[in-house]
Amino acid sequence: MAKILNIGSLNLDYVYAVPHFVEAGETLLSSRRDVFPGGKGLNQTVAAARAGAEVFHGGAVGADGDMLLDLLKDAGADVSAVTRVDVPTGHAVIQVSPQGENAIIILGGANRAVSPGTVEAALEKVEAGDILLLQNEINGLAAIIRRAWEKGLRILFNPAPMEAGVKDLPLELLDTLIVNEGEGRALAGDMDALRAAYPNQKILLTQGSRGASLWTGSELIFQPAFPVKAVDTTAAGDCFLGYYAAALAEDLSFAQALRLASAASALAVQKQGAAPSIPLRAEVEAFLREK
């Protein structure tokens, strides 16, 4: 079985309940504050680990990052390649109104202080043929992609949050480019345009409640979404990607990987929260046996 390395973001989400969004010059009382684990990197590692894969997480946290490391370890991930840095852990300050609307400020923090040494230490955990997961929430992505390609890793990249600089990355070195429809349009357009723009890459296009489409280089595989009543879709994409990577690590077929990932995502959206909503492999298998 192949190993998975995720060099990705680790965030703390500070969520404040407020009567309305704070205005310029205003001091506002909050009725409640909650602290949650977050970051696309963390969510994807948790998903891959709960799917049963051997997963290593590389990245950085500040002195306040113990909660995140404990969560990853509890999920079964190896965090020995996460380093401590002298800046705060990446975090978000989130205002939530009584109507459920939110306003968010994000500080990259430690996620933007991942050193070349940390990257090299993380890459030592894996070897040619293993899988590297990346998102667009850490610094140094171009160098990481080139170094991983030199090492012979299968690089799966999810360019979220999408920004103009993504096009400047060495995307031609990827094994698989994973985008939602909005990210796909920003990069090139629809699936046909993406295939034309990145002819040597597999393209995985997630399409929300409709499902997901994968161009393997020789065929187009569509996996419809499982019909469920969604409660919270926050971690749906991350859960999907973590489970998909785990399935590839097991050497399942592309069709089997898509089906497993779609089932995991269907279970995740039926629960509140991000990482806490990601199901265990046994739950996903039980769900699939009923289909």
Active-site residues: which are they?
238
Cα–Cα distance for residue pair 236/209, rounded to 1 Å? 10
Q: Which residue has the tokens 């991000």?
A: 274
Give the contacts of 36 (CB within 8 A, at least 6 positions apart).
12, 13, 15, 273, 274, 275
Let me know: does 279 contact 243? Beta carbons within 8 Å. no
Let me know: does 288 contact 260? Beta carbons within 8 Å. yes
DSSP reduced 3-state for 86:
coil
Cα–Cα distance for residue pair 41/20, rounded to 1 Å? 30
Cα–Cα distance for residue pair 246/53, rounded to 1 Å? 5
Other Cβ atoms closer than 10 A to 102: 14
Q: Phi and psi at residue 279, in whole multiples of 5°?
A: -80, 160
Residue 205: which H helix or E strand, with range?
strand 202-206
